[in-house]
Amino acid sequence: MKIKYLSTLLIVLLFSCNEKKEISSINPENWSKRAVNLTSKDSLEFGKSYLSVYSQIYSNTEHRTHNLTSMISMRNISELDTIYLLRAEYYDTHGKSVRKYFDYPIFLAPMETTEIIIDELDVSGGTGSNFILEWKIPKNCPEPLFEGIMTSTMGQQGLSFTTKAKRIN
């Protein structure tokens, strides 16, 4: 009787620990709900920004890495104007495109923020991943603010740091 009970308990424990974690990000449907049609007549200023993010960082040696969850925060810091994000593309350590989150104009209302989340299990970017973000803003509007927030927790240990985008065009 005890063996049967222990066997059942062991099977239940094994299956409960075998939880499947999904690699996640913001649902692509959310981007299409924000889509807008910009015409060439619109008098908007174009910009392009580079943002470094980290899927992994080195731990102890160059042969051991620690996975991170990354949040790419895209912020409209204007109190008055709507801005437009044209493209958000994720690149790996070697400069190869991993995925495009959107490559059509979406809007951000005044003071609005939206995010891209790269799950801790998604290490496709590696230790030197980055984003290219293209945008358009009305004249005299503040440029958007792009930040990367990387976090990880293990037991009672926590790790977090941020990066800020640099305008490249």
**Total H helices, total E strands in the chain:** 2, 12
pLDDT digits (tens, 9 = 90+) for 22-51: 544 556 667 888 899 988 767 899 999 999
Asked if 12 and 5 count as a contact pair (C-beta separation under 8 A), the reply is: no
Q: What is the mean pLDDT of the chain?
A: 86
Q: Which domains does the chain have, with CATH numbers?
A: 29-167 (2.60.290.11)
Q: What is the pTM assigned to this prediction?
A: 0.81
From 21-35, 91-105, 141-155, the region with the lowest mean pLDDT: 21-35
Our CA angle for 154, 156, 161, nearest 5°, is 65
Supply the pLDDT for residue 136.
97
Percent of the chain with pLDDT over 90: 64
Residue 80 CA: distances (Å) to CA of 10, 54, 103, 108, 137: 60, 33, 25, 11, 12
